[in-house]
Amino acid sequence: MIVVMDLHSTEEQIKKVEERLEELGFSSHLIRGVEKIVIGAVGGNREAARERLELLPGVEKVVPVMAPYKIVSREYQEHGSIVKVGELSIGGEEIAVIAGPCAVESRETLLSAAQAVARSGARFLRGGAFKPRTSPYSFQGMREEGLEILAWAREKTGLKIVTEVINPQDVELVASYADILQIGARNMQNFALLKEVGRQEKPVLLKRGMSATIEEWLMAAEYIASSGNSNIILCERGIRTFETYTRNTLDVSAVPLVKQLSHLPVLVDPSHSSGNWKLVAPLALAGLAAGADGLMIEVHPNPASALSDGPQSLTPAHFHELMQKLAPLAQLMGRSLRQEALVS
Ligand code: PEP
Ligand code: MN
Q: What is the pLDDT of residue 342?
A: 60
pLDDT band, very low/low/confident/very high, at 43 (cuts 50, 70, 90):
confident
Question: What is the C-alpha to C-alpha distance for residues 128 and 104, in angstroms, rounded to an integer?
Answer: 6
Q: Which CATH class is domain 83-332?
A: alpha beta
Average pLDDT over residues 279-284: 98
User: Which atom of ligand 1 has the smallest separation from the CA of 238?
Assistant: 9
Category of 243 on φ-ψ map: left (φ > 0), alpha (ψ -120 to 50) or beta: beta
Percentage of residues in the chain having pLDDT higher than 70? 99
Average pLDDT over residues 307-323: 98
What residues does CATH 3.30.70.1140 cover in the chain?
2-63
Average pLDDT, the chain: 95
pLDDT band, very low/low/confident/very high, at 171 (cuts 50, 70, 90):
very high
User: Which atom of ligand 1 has the smallest separation from the CA of 164?
Assistant: 3
CATH architecture of the domain with residue range 2-63 = 2-Layer Sandwich (3.30)
* Residue identifier of the C-alpha nearest atom 5 of ligand 1: 184
Does position 66 have pLDDT exceeding 80, yes or no?
Answer: yes
54-68, 149-163, 173-187: lowest mean pLDDT where? 54-68
For residue 3, the CA-to-ligand 2 centroid distance in Å is 41
* Residue identifier of the C-alpha nearest atom 3 of ligand 1: 102
What residues does CATH 3.20.20.70 cover in the chain?
83-332
Q: For residue 228, count other CB atoms closer than 10 A to its CB.
A: 15
Q: What is the pLDDT of residue 343?
A: 54
For residue 185, the CA-to-ligand 1 centroid distance in Å is 6
For residue 102, the CA-to-ligand 2 centroid distance in Å is 4
Average pLDDT over residues 135-159: 97
pLDDT band, very low/low/confident/very high, at 65 (cuts 50, 70, 90):
confident
Residues by chain with Cβ below 5 Å of ion ligand 2: 102, 309
CA dihedral 310, 253, 194, 90 (to 10 degrees): 80
pLDDT band, very low/low/confident/very high, at 56 (cuts 50, 70, 90):
very high
Average pLDDT over residues 309-337: 98
For residue 233, the CA-to-ligand 2 centroid distance in Å is 18
Ligand 1 and 184: CB distance under 6 A: yes
Q: For residue 41, count other CB atoms closer than 10 A to its CB.
A: 26
User: Which atom of ligand 1 has the smallest separation from the CA of 184?
Assistant: 8
Specify which residues 276 forms β-bridges with: none
Q: Look at residues 50, 68, 328 and name the one whose alpha carbon lies nearest to residue 213.
A: 68
Q: What is the pLDDT of residue 327?
A: 97
Report pLDDT digits (tens) over 191-215.
999 999 999 999 999 999 999 999 9
Q: What is the pLDDT of residue 47?
A: 81
Average pLDDT over residues 282-291: 98
Does position 344 have pLDDT exceeding 70, yes or no?
Answer: no
4-13, 76-85, 177-186, 334-343: lowest mean pLDDT where? 334-343
Decide: residue 283, CB within 10 A, 0-12 exposed, 13-18 middle, 19+ buried: buried
Q: What is the pLDDT of residue 78?
A: 85
Element (H or E) spanning 268, and its range? Answer: strand 266-268
